[in-house]
Structure 1
Amino acid sequence: MDIRTVSGVMPVREEDQLDWQHLRDYLVREGVLPEDAPDLCAVQFPTGASNLTYLIQSGEFVAVLRRPPHGPLPPRAHDMGRESAILARLHPHFPKAPRPYAYCGDPSVLGVPFFVMEYRPGVPLDASFPEGFAYTPDIGRAISERAIQALAELHAVDPEASGLVQFGKPEGFLRRQVDGWIERFHRSRTDEEVPDADVVMAWISGNVPDSRDVTVIHNDFKLNNMLFAEPSYRDIVGIVDWEMATVGDPLLDLGVMLSYWTEPSDPPALQSLFPSVTVLEGFYSRQEMAERYAEATGRSVHDLKFYYVFGVFKLAVILQQIYVRYKMGKTSDARFARFGDGIRALVSHARAEIG
């Protein structure tokens, strides 16, 4: 295998380069690589807008490396040690989660905390299928079903038996989430106005439902965090990006997934911000996804409006946290230049959904 031929990777950006020799030596010391392992080579996954993710190779050994983004970081965010520890406990109970190989918090190795994990050779889905792929509506239905099944399987993991209960505080979880994301919005505000933001935050804060269940949740469950097997794209071979995973209200995961699940009738600004294959004929609507989740889990989705609006608001906050770093000159990634318009589009959509 040659990682340079993997679909969707690119050469490592100059600003994101790491000391690959130090990394090789560290992995040898940790027993991940043998003493005679060849030098490492690396490519980068360009799609993530948060943590930096690399595909690394030494001979036949191939793995994924994750590290935090550049610039000032929100408190407790981008915790590589926590994500690695969650995967170590989750993988035996939920095989779609990759197995971690090593975590390093010693800044003398690469200058930042990082962890290395198993590589799953699947493809995430974003705006389109690969060129030449013969899409049919039954494929959209199959992918919709697989996504719901995977979410139901995750929410069936026992927090106590898996040891994951230590990574969450279920009591008051939903209220803390709401208060925390509103605080993040204020803390990352730029000098640009965001109309309707105060209205949306007030509605979310005043409409927090009572959580009925506590499960393991991904907290960023969406299509492009799922890896689909080629060439059919009907099976999920892995789910990645467990940075925000915790133990809490499972309907938060549903709300997050639906906030990315673009429909053909959505405002053009929203479709432009998050172009998605879900607009194609055959994919379930957001309402159908919610109904299938209720059928698969036995849970009520009566308060779906809250979870969806909150999911959309969280997206706006995530973009704003990235955008403020861009405006401060902490990253030069040109993708982030339009995030200001994206924040306003998301908040406007959330306001329209409130009614």
Structure 2
Amino acid sequence: MVMLIDTSPRLRAPAEQVSQPWQALAQYLASHGHALALDPAPRQFSGGLANLNYLLDIDGREAVLRRPPMGTLPPGAYDMGREFGILQRLSAGFDLVPQGIHLCEDASVMGAPFQIIEYRRGFAVGAQLPESLCGVAEVGQRLANALIGVLVRLHRVDPAALGLDTLGRPEGFLARSVAGWRKRAHLATQGTETPLIEELGAWLERHLVPDGPATLLHNDMKLDNILFDGDTLAPTAVLDWDQGTRGDGLFDLATTLSYWTEPDDPPALHALRQMPTANGGFPSREWAAQTYARAMGRDLSDFRFYRVLAMYKLAVIFYQLHDRYRRGATNDARYAAFGTLADGLLDAAHLVALGRLF
């Protein structure tokens, strides 16, 4: 079956863009042998809640400039150099990874470090299926197969073969994750009442499991971080590698499933609007977990721990985003409701901990 889907880039209207010092960037790139076209000016991609991404014309070809969000940032977050290093190495052995073109760690050029990477054309699937796919037989199953298939392919990559065997610290990964996200939770919710943060944090400490086999992790694998070919639905790229590391692959799977909504889920999971898995014939989270486990030879006996940790992490991320709104670091109206959303995600994590939600 051939399906023609528009793969033109989704861009913000000029009046809605976060402005950048394009002339300064052009001068900087010229000093490094690159020509940046400024007529028309670069355009910001729509979507996304963190890093800012812009479509450039550099050296006569399309590329993407990626920089951190504006304002004060959490320590260690949005590390452009680290992500660029992952792209440079991983793209040599995993064909879905765009290549890095240029890294600038001098914040004086644009107010923050930035990177320029290869642009790949394709369409992403966000909260809703593209209209042209609605009603197509088995489209949900095909996209689910592709998503889990990409995760399996990534986890089968040999990090040492690509010079990524020193990325992250797999030993103690899960224990550090629990401790780190508990700390971030308290920092992001200072001055608010969120009792489940402590209760679920303590649950995670009590139910901590040994680290499983270390793999390369994306840490945010979902449909809108994958680009698909407009005719075949084959994946063409995996985006957003800023959280890439090595660790237990079941945590990567659990992160994916934290976005995977089912029809009977609590309202907060539907309010996430990350993937259209509650409609369109998508299979269940349990199907996804079992499919991955069979492909990777993993035992899911302790998977509840991973699910709770991933849901806890997701809630904390939304608390962090809401905290930026509370502090005036952003005036994006979407952020105003993120505190309530995070509360609902903690409630859902509690249901997982109790065994009432897969």
> Is the counterpart of residue 316 in structure 1 residue 315 in structure 2?
yes
- Structure 2 match to 1:135: 135
- CA–CA distance in structure 2, aligned partners of residues 250 and 7 of structure 1: 31
Cα deviation code 1:87-107 (max 9, x no counterpart): 101001111111010010112
- Any idea what SS the aligned residue of 1:248 has? strand
Q: Do the aligned residues in 1 keep the contact of 2:212 with 2:249 (CA within 8 Å)?
A: no
- Structure 1 match to 2:155: 155
- CA–CA distance in structure 2, aligned partners of residues 275 and 154 of structure 1: 21
- CA–CA distance in structure 2, aligned partners of residues 197 and 291 of structure 1: 29
> Is the counterpart of residue 252 in structure 1 residue 261 in structure 2?
no
- Structure 1 match to 2:279: 280
Aligned residues: 348
Cα deviation code 1:124-173 (max 9, x no counterpart): 21111223434334111111111111111111111111111222111111
- Structure 2 match to 1:218: 218
CA apart distance, 1:62: 0.9
CA apart distance, 1:8: 2.3
- CA–CA distance in structure 2, aligned partners of residues 28 and 313 of structure 1: 45
CA apart distance, 1:38: 5.9
- CA–CA distance in structure 2, aligned partners of residues 115 and 246 of structure 1: 18
Q: Do the aligned residues in 2 keep the contact of 1:255 with 1:307 (CA within 8 Å)?
A: yes
Moved more, 245-254 or 190-199: 190-199
- Structure 1 match to 2:8: 6
Moved more, 76-85 or 264-273: 264-273
Q: Do the aligned residues in 2 keep the contact of 1:101 with 1:118 (CA within 8 Å)?
A: yes
Normalising by the residue count of structure 1, what TM-score does the alignment of the two structures yield? 0.92
- Structure 2 match to 1:191: 191
Gaps of at least 5 residues in structure 2 are 1-6
- Any idea what SS the aligned residue of 2:277 has? helix
Q: Per the alignment, do residues 325 and 185 of structure 1 end up closer, same or farther by CA in structure 2, a change over 3 Å counting?
A: same
Q: Per the alignment, do residues 280 and 15 of structure 1 end up closer, same or farther by CA in structure 2, a change over 3 Å counting?
A: closer
CA RMSD of aligned residues (A): 1.9
- Structure 1 match to 2:4: none
Gaps of at least 5 residues in structure 1 are none
Moved more, 37-46 or 344-353: 37-46
- CA–CA distance in structure 2, aligned partners of residues 87 and 241 of structure 1: 10
- CA–CA distance in structure 2, aligned partners of residues 88 and 7 of structure 1: 23
CA apart distance, 1:26: 2.5
Amino acid in structure 1 at the alignment position of 2:30? V
CA apart distance, 1:221: 1.3
- Any idea what SS the aligned residue of 1:107 has? coil
- CA–CA distance in structure 2, aligned partners of residues 306 and 278 of structure 1: 23
Residue pairs, 1:1-355, within 5 angstroms: 6-12=8-14, 16-33=18-35, 39=39, 41-58=41-58, 60-232=60-232, 234-274=233-273, 276-355=275-354
- CA–CA distance in structure 1, aligned partners of residues 263 and 178 of structure 2: 29
CA apart distance, 1:340: 1.0
Q: Do the aligned residues in 2 keep the contact of 1:136 with 1:282 (CA within 8 Å)?
A: no
Q: Do the aligned residues in 2 keep the contact of 1:194 with 1:347 (CA within 8 Å)?
A: no
- Any idea what SS the aligned residue of 2:242 has? coil
Cα deviation code 1:274-315 (max 9, x no counterpart): 253111242121000011101211122222211111111111
Q: Do the aligned residues in 1 keep the contact of 2:185 with 2:197 (CA within 8 Å)?
A: no
- Any idea what SS the aligned residue of 1:201 has? helix
